[in-house]
Amino acid sequence: MKILQSKALFQHNGSDVFLYTLKNKAGVEVCISNLGAIIQSFKVPDRTGNVIDIVLGFDTMEQYLSSDYLNTSSYLGAVVGRYANRVGNACIEIDGQTFQLSSNMSPHQIHGGYEGFDSKVWHVENTDDLSVGKLKMSYLSKDAEEGYPGNLTVSICFSLNDENELIIDTEAITDKSTAINLTHHDYFNLHGSGRIEDHWVQIPSGFYLGQHPDNLANGEILSVLGTKYDFKSSKQIKEDWDPVSGYDQSFVLDKEYGVYGKAATAYSDKSGIKLEVFTDEPTVHFYTGKHLGIADARNGAFYGPFSGFCFETQHHCNAVNIPEFPSTILRPEQVYRHKTGYCVSSQ
Ligand code: BGC
């Protein structure tokens, strides 16, 4: 499957920004940029053959850099790193040494700091890969960027197969021990527009992560039984939710650590579109978009609260500060690997 590359759209910090189109035989089309490795659109035929864009996004890549948008801290469709979600007190300790990180959500850090991987221009290494259906891009995060130790080289490879699965394979290496926890922050709306609370969602997880009132993971692992966090059987998002806050919580997946398997399923009665998320990561963070408030988005739309939901596959939030959680320290002799797949169908 061939991937089409746009002409250079504009330059950001001296590098060209492109948009790449991945299209399969079933009519699924995904547009991805090397700006923030952003999935800008994900078009899927609904049950009647109408094509629906199932992710939130902007018409142009320039809009992802406007200060009005960046001030909303929404991370639409972007890769998030070096460390997804909140790092308590923006502080980490590795081998007895303390590193003070940038604190963009005082006193914590969120999603990698003031200028995370979501707003970097990634380098598309080998355009020959495009002809074999692989879009591979990399980014060098320099030692001390946003406070993290080590030169970290990250690569992301996107591919779309004829079984309608978009696979995101991420790898990273470092020259000093560092902390890493990457995710992709796509907001889905399988209706194509409007609010999301009547989507059906299933998450194969018996336990969720406890949080402090400011949403920082506190180290507790709690049973979902008898709580609103029980998504073991499919239910509508609104069935048990708090309509003011929605969901902003991590779920520990039932599968074996490190094994690629199901993280979540979502379904829209309106379009008949189903999304299945697979990952080799141990948790999925389910966020229903409470803080959205984005003007002038695709086709002039306003994205208000609860107009998209994210399934952020990752290691346990704040694991770097919680020794009982699986380690998120990457050593120079190791390779970080993360695979997530989004599989779509309509019925
Ligand atoms: C976080 C939310 C945050 C959102 C946008 C999610 O991953 O859990 O608390 O508001 O990202 O930054």
**Cα-flanking dihedrals φ and ψ of residue 65, to 5°?**
-110, 0
Q: Given this model, what pLDDT does residue 210 score?
A: 98
d(CA 162, ligand 1 centre) in Å: 32
Residue 187 CB–ligand 1 contact under 6 Å:
no
- Read off the pLDDT of residues 129-138 as tens digits, 9 standing for 90 and up: 888 899 999 9
Q: What does the pLDDT average to over 41-54? A: 98
For ligand 1, pick from 208, 209, 287, 309 the residue to mutate: most ligand atoms within 8 Å of CB: 287
CA-proximal residue: ligand 1, atom 7 (nearest): 85
Q: Give 103's Cβ-side CA count (13 Å radius).
A: 10
d(CA 283, ligand 1 centre) in Å: 15
Work out which ligand 1 atom sits closest to the CA atom of 291: 10
Q: Is 86 among the annotated ligand-binding positions?
A: yes
Q: Is 248 among the annotated ligand-binding positions?
A: yes
Helix residue spans in the chain (DSSP H) = 67-70, 128-131
Residue 142 CB–ligand 1 contact under 6 Å:
no
d(CA 132, ligand 1 centre) in Å: 35
Q: Given this model, what pLDDT does residue 132 score?
A: 83
**Cα-flanking dihedrals φ and ψ of residue 287, to 5°?**
-125, 125
Q: What does the pLDDT average to over 74-90? A: 98
Residue 312 CB–ligand 1 contact under 6 Å:
yes
> What contacts 47, CB < 8 A, 6 or more positions away?
271, 272, 273, 346, 347
Q: Given this model, what pLDDT does residue 2 score?
A: 81
Q: Could you tell me if 289 and 156 are in contact, meaning their C-beta atoms sit under 8 angstroms apart?
A: no
CA-proximal residue: ligand 1, atom 5 (nearest): 74
For 255-319, the DSSP string reads SPTT--EEEEEEE-TTT-EEEEEEESSSEEEEE--TT--BSS-GGG--B-TTS-BEEEEESPTTG
Residue 313 CB–ligand 1 contact under 6 Å:
no
Q: Is 185 among the annotated ligand-binding positions?
A: yes
Q: Given this model, what pLDDT does residue 323 score?
A: 97
> What contacts 291, CB < 8 A, 6 or more positions away?
72, 73, 74, 305
- Read off the pLDDT of residues 313-326 as tens digits, 9 standing for 90 and up: 999 999 999 999 99
Q: What does the pLDDT average to over 271-290? A: 98
**Cα-flanking dihedrals φ and ψ of residue 338, to 5°?**
-145, 130
Q: Given this model, what pLDDT does residue 108 score?
A: 98
173 has a pLDDT exceeding 80: yes
Residue 291 CB–ligand 1 contact under 6 Å:
yes
Residue 248 CB–ligand 1 contact under 6 Å:
yes
Mean pLDDT computed over every residue of the chain: 97
For ligand 1, pick from 119, 215, 248, 281 the residue to mutate: most ligand atoms within 8 Å of CB: 248
74 has a pLDDT exceeding 90: yes
For ligand 1, pick from 111, 245, 247, 314 the residue to mutate: most ligand atoms within 8 Å of CB: 111
Q: Could you tell me if 123 and 168 are in contact, meaning their C-beta atoms sit under 8 angstroms apart?
A: no
Q: Could you tell me if 66 and 56 are in contact, meaning their C-beta atoms sit under 8 angstroms apart?
A: no
Catalytic residues: 185, 312
Q: Could you tell me if 81 and 154 are in contact, meaning their C-beta atoms sit under 8 angstroms apart?
A: yes
CATH topology of domain 3-346: Beta-galactosidase; Chain A, domain 5 (2.70.98)
Residue 285 CB–ligand 1 contact under 6 Å:
yes
Instruction: Determine the Cα–Cα distance for residues 142 and 306; give it in Å rounded to an integer.
Output: 35
CA-proximal residue: ligand 1, atom 1 (nearest): 85
Q: How many helices (H) and strands (E) does the chain have?
A: 2, 29
39 has a pLDDT exceeding 80: yes
1 has a pLDDT exceeding 80: no
- Read off the pLDDT of residues 3-38 as tens digits, 9 standing for 90 and up: 999 999 999 999 999 999 999 999 999 999 999 999
- Read off the pLDDT of residues 126-164 as tens digits, 9 standing for 90 and up: 878 888 899 999 999 999 999 999 999 999 999 999 999
Could you tell me the pTM of the whole model? Answer: 0.97
Residue 198 CB–ligand 1 contact under 6 Å:
no
What are the structural domain ranges in the chain? 3-346
Q: Given this model, what pLDDT does residue 131 score?
A: 83
For 29-65, the DSSP string reads EEEEESBTT-EEEEEEE-TTS-EEE-B---SSGGGGG
Q: What does the pLDDT average to over 244-252? A: 98
Instruction: Determine the Cα–Cα distance for residues 271 and 192; give it in Å rounded to an integer.
Output: 8
Q: Indicate the pLDDT class of residue 190, thresholds 50, 70 and 90.
A: very high
